[in-house]
Amino acid sequence: MAAQGRHGGKKSNKMTALVVDDNTVNRMIHHRLLDNLGIENVAVVNGKEAVDIHCSGKTFDLILMDMDMPVMNGIEATRQLREMGIRSMIAGVSTRSMEREIREFIEAGLDDYQEKPLTMSKLISIIHKING
Amino acid sequence: MEQIEKHDYLQAHQKQPISQLVRSRKETEQEKMVKAETDEQHNEHQYEQNELEAEPGERGRKKPQTLACFSCQIPLKTCAEDSTIPVAKTGLPVWMLGLAADRLRADTNRLLAFLFHQGILDEQFLQLQQLEDETSPNFVSEVVNIYFHESEKLLRNLRSLLMDREFSDYNKMGIHLNQFMGSSSSIGAKRIRNVCVAFRAASEQNNRAGCLRALELLEHEYCFLKNKLHELFQIQQQRALAAGVRYPMQN
């Protein structure tokens, strides 16, 4: 049986990540950032697909969750993943900067929040929290 | 982007705030422009000299270009006359193609310095360029072209909503705006992002007139950015072609 990582991901040499964002440009950039760090990653286009991929049995060390998405937004998706017992690092990534909006997102179950645009240094700071 | 140029950007970016980076680039570009103008003046002078020394019947006629060394003014032999001169596929001496590559590089730097100085782009564009490498040499242009394609759809949607006499769905407008804002900030389109912030504020206040004004400004900024980035990619394409000609594949 595969050992569990600190945040519930399958422990292996290669870290894994899930990008959840409805915007194609953001998905491409986040995918490339993760690729450059040697992190295997998959991208989905809304919160429902993020929940569904976990229901299929897949788990990830890191989830980059956008807030505003159609079908199911990031707040609702985060809430559902936590209710399912997913303990992966979930980092919210959004253009929102108002405190009350961010607080609602964090209270849904985020481990971290970063304002867009996501940069390499922001991503590294998120990853340090996984390994720390 | 060439590794050396990327390194220059990274070095400057890591050590200096963006405003200093842009200032130092401007100074460098100004020096290059002055040198380029001096070289052009020298070339014109050289041509005038050639005209004066030509036979009366030959003045003004299109004659084979007389090339001379810029520093010592010794006439250079053509490649046909001197087989020791390395020749590119164009038939021109290889050293001449370097001048075109240098000019294109200066054009790239000048345009980027302008875009940063005017606040049209910010350091996120540099971050994007850093993601480009040998495995994805066209990453920036691919992402930006997708950005253009999606942005035009979003702008059409926003205009269509606001032009509707019975418009009242500010939530729907907010969704399109968030999309536009997110992708604009991800590619470093700073001015567009700032206009989106103002647009969002007007939308949250249900201020239709404010939204219309913001939309017009957004459309204007978007057109400007698109033209400038197209120009940048064209120059970069020319540089890639020049590099390919300058260093032809050996069979």
DSSP output for A76-123: HHHHHHHHTT--SEEEEEES---HHHHHHHHHTT-SEEEESSP-HHHH
Confidence at B74, pLDDT banded by 50, 70, 90: very low
CA-based angle A35:A37:A40, to the nearest 5?
45
> Does residue A62 have a pLDDT over 70?
yes
Residues of A in contact with B187 (CB under 8 A): 25, 29
Local structure of residue B76 (DSSP, 8 states):
P
Of how many residues is chain B composed?
A: 251
Confidence at A96, pLDDT banded by 50, 70, 90: confident
Confidence at B24, pLDDT banded by 50, 70, 90: low
Place of tokens 């036979």: B55
> Does residue A35 have a pLDDT over 80?
yes
Q: What is the pLDDT of residue B122?
A: 95
Inter-residue contact A48 to A71 (CB < 8 Å) = yes
Distance in angstroms (rounded) separating the CA atoms of residues A108 and A75? 6
> Does residue B16 have a pLDDT over 90?
no
Report the residue from A24, A28, A120 with minimal CB separation from B127.
A120
Q: How far is A57 from chain B (nearest CA, A)?
A: 30
Q: What is the pLDDT of residue A22?
A: 94
For residue B188, what is the nearest residue in chain A, using CA coordinates? Answer: A117
Give B181-221 pLDDT, tens digit per residue. Answer: 999 999 999 999 999 999 999 998 999 999 999 999 999 99
Residues of B in contact with A23 (CB under 8 A): 150, 179, 182-183, 186
Confidence at A79, pLDDT banded by 50, 70, 90: very high
Q: What is the pLDDT of residue B93?
A: 60
> Does residue B230 have a pLDDT over 90?
yes
CA-based angle A49:A23:B134, to the nearest 5?
105
Q: What is the pLDDT of residue B65?
A: 47
Tell me if B186 and A25 make a contact (CB, 8 A cut-off).
yes
Residues of A in contact with B143 (CB under 8 A): 25, 28-29
Distance in angstroms (rounded) separating the CA atoms of residues B64 and A30? 55
Average pLDDT, chain B: 74
Inter-residue contact A55 to A34 (CB < 8 Å) = no
Nearest to A108 by CA among A61, A27, A56, A50: A50
- Between the CA atoms of A105, A106, A108 and A112, what dihedral angle is there, to the nearest 10 degrees? 110
Residues of A in contact with B154 (CB under 8 A): none
- Among A70-79, B21-30, B193-202, B231-240, name the one with the lowest average pLDDT: B21-30
> Does residue B126 have a pLDDT over 60?
yes
Q: Does A23 touch chain B (CB under 8 A)?
A: yes
A28 residue type, one letter: M
Q: Is B87 helix (H, G, I), strand (E, B) or coil?
A: strand
Report the residue from B131, B175, B183 with minimal CB separation from A26.
B183
Tell me if B186 and A117 make a contact (CB, 8 A cut-off).
yes
Q: Does A31 touch chain B (CB under 8 A)?
A: no
Report the residue from A23, A29, A119 with minimal CB separation from B179.
A23
Structure tokens at B28: 């460098």
Tell me if B131 and A29 make a contact (CB, 8 A cut-off).
yes
Tell me if A120 and B130 make a contact (CB, 8 A cut-off).
yes
Tell me if A25 and B130 make a contact (CB, 8 A cut-off).
no
Maximum mean pLDDT: which of A62-76, A88-102, B28-42:
A62-76
Report the residue from A25, A94, A116 with minimal CB separation from B143.
A25
Q: What is the pLDDT of residue B139?
A: 94
> Does residue B148 have a pLDDT over 90?
yes
H-state helical runs in B66-138: 94-117, 123-130
Question: Is 0.90 exceeded by the ipTM?
Answer: no
- Which residue of A21, A25, A105 to mutate against B (max B Cβ within 10 Å)? A25
Tell me if B150 and A29 make a contact (CB, 8 A cut-off).
no
> Does residue B135 have a pLDDT over 60?
yes
Distance in angstroms (rounded) separating the CA atoms of residues B13 and B185? 18
Distance in angstroms (rounded) separating the CA atoms of residues A19 and A91? 10
The model scores a pTM over 0.95: no
Write B88-92 long-range contacts (CB < 8 A, 24+). Answer: B88/B245, B88/B246, B88/B248, B89/B245, B89/B248, B90/B245
